[in-house]
Amino acid sequence: MALSRSSSTSASTFKTAVETAEKLVQPQSSSTFHDPFSIVSHEMSNLAKSIANLIGSGHPTLNRVSSYYFEAEGKNVRPLIVLLLSKSLAAIPIEQRNRIKIDTYDVTNQPHYNGTPTETVVAGNSVDDSISPLAILHGINPRVILDPLSKPMDKLPEFDAMNGILPKQRRLAEIVEMIHTASLLHDDVIDLSDSRRGRPSGNIAFTNKMAVLAGDFLLGRASVAIARLRNPEVIELLSTTIANLVEGEFMQLKNTVMSNDSQSIVNDGEKKVIPEPTGKVPTKQHEYSVSTPAEVDHITNVDAAFEYYLHKTYLKTASLMSKSSRAAAVLSGAHDDIIENCYEFGRNLGLCFQIVDDMLDYTASDATFGKPSQADLKLGLATAPILFAWKEQPELGELIARKFSEPGDVEIARNAVKKYSGLEKTREMAHEYCYKALQNLRVLPESDARSALEFLTNSVLTRNK
């Protein structure tokens, strides 16, 4: 399979998929509906403006850094998935939404589903209402009663009534993008990146310290918005995604810089011994984990390395997609089977998305990718293409174990990937996850929104950035 064929067509297909999907989360009566480009601009502008209202601080420089990545043109795939999935869920008859009780504020123009009389409303109240007094939240008595932590988007109720997306689902989409953007700020510092979305990365444009603090601030603001959803299950899901992102990054760090003895790390070429635990704070690894390649056999066990790679990929990328998809279904009141398939859809799509990303790292140019390409091998990361080559050429295990650190290692690895069709096999793996994601969507009623999700899912395979 020729991976380089019609790269411009691939880019166009993915862009068309996003534009088509974005049109479907617009109100049908919008005067701009006849102009697809203005519709895309309008939706993205509202998303960015709404997020800006959520992240405002009392410090102008902090506002500047925390909003920096929202200014550039990003894929915005994660919030788009939440919005389209929410619209697809709206096609389920209200009497079949028996998972939780839905309050009148959430349902907008739909009939009120009462549920079991003994249940309590867990979804209630506006996403824009604070739970604690504002003077306490801000630590100051403002001259004007204003809540910069959350302000409603213009004409939001009318939008929701027309397109079937609940207010809490729309806020969920905004929260997801905030969490994702915070992870980008942190990742660029960790990976020493110098570009993101076609311009200097946050750590370069400002400083490492400011980028880290801005990422922390975004997570803090996201946490406030999460709490205001007032749904314990959704709060638990979204809070876990933040922990998952950190776990995944640690797995990648270990895969990059950890020594085989797991008792030391290599930082900037210098070996540093990890402090021994004192025993005052007992810690144990939870059962939902995988063995590291070093714990099994860091040179010969390819299967263990693949398991490690896929779990890391889930934590870093698919967790946010899967748990936000599940949260959208929970907020809709859908029953357990729908909720589970929404979760699996996000999981499979997230794995597909990242696997394609890992493949593009070998094939895309810096200008197309929007960030440095061919970086994984230089960072010592063993992703799917080189793992497939490792299966055919066992001696690559030694290069992977030393993180491609010796002269010529990166070139040897790239040649092996080409020789043993590592990219083609990686694409086949992505196809499998894409197919599973499409099957998960089949549990939803047929609708334009579901068709858009299917189109978007298929286009992930053909994108080139």
**DSSP secondary structure, 433-456, as one string:** HHHHHHHHHTTSPP-HHHHHHHHH
Above 90 in pLDDT, residue 322? Answer: yes
Q: Whole-prediction pTM value? A: 0.83
Above 70 in pLDDT, residue 439? Answer: yes
What pLDDT does residue 455 have?
86
CA nearest neighbour of 48 among 29, 74, 26 = 74
pLDDT band at 102 (very low <50, low <70, confident <90, very high): low
Who's near 98: CB < 8 A, 6+ residues apart?
Answer: 113, 115, 333, 335
What is the pLDDT averaged over residues 425-435? 96
pLDDT band at 15 (very low <50, low <70, confident <90, very high): low
Q: Which domains does the chain have, with CATH numbers?
A: 7-278+288-460 (1.10.600.10)
In terms of average pLDDT, the best of 374-378, 441-445, 461-465 is 441-445
Concatenated DSSP letters of 272-317: EEPPPP-SSS-----SS----HHHH-TTT-HHHHHHHHHHHHIIII
Q: CA-based angle 51:53:58, to the nearest 5? A: 120
The torsion angle over the Cα atoms of residues 394, 398, 400 and 405, rounded to 10 degrees, is: -140
Above 90 in pLDDT, residue 244? Answer: yes
Strand partners, 199: 196
Q: Give the pLDDT confidence of 304-313 residue by residue, as tens digits.
A: 889 889 999 9
| Under 8 Å between Cβ of 345 and 259 | no
How far apart are alpha carbons 210 and 178 in whole angstroms? 17
In the three-class reduction of DSSP (H, G, I as helix; E, B as strand; rest coil), residue 265 is classed as strand
Above 50 in pLDDT, residue 87? Answer: yes
Question: In the numeric block, which tokens belong to residue 145?
Answer: 């009663």
| pLDDT-above-70 percentage for the chain | 72
Who's near 48: CB < 8 A, 6+ residues apart?
Answer: 70, 71
How far apart are alpha carbons 243 and 180 in whole angstroms? 12
Higher pLDDT, 150 or 132: 132
How far apart are alpha carbons 39 and 163 in whole angstroms? 14
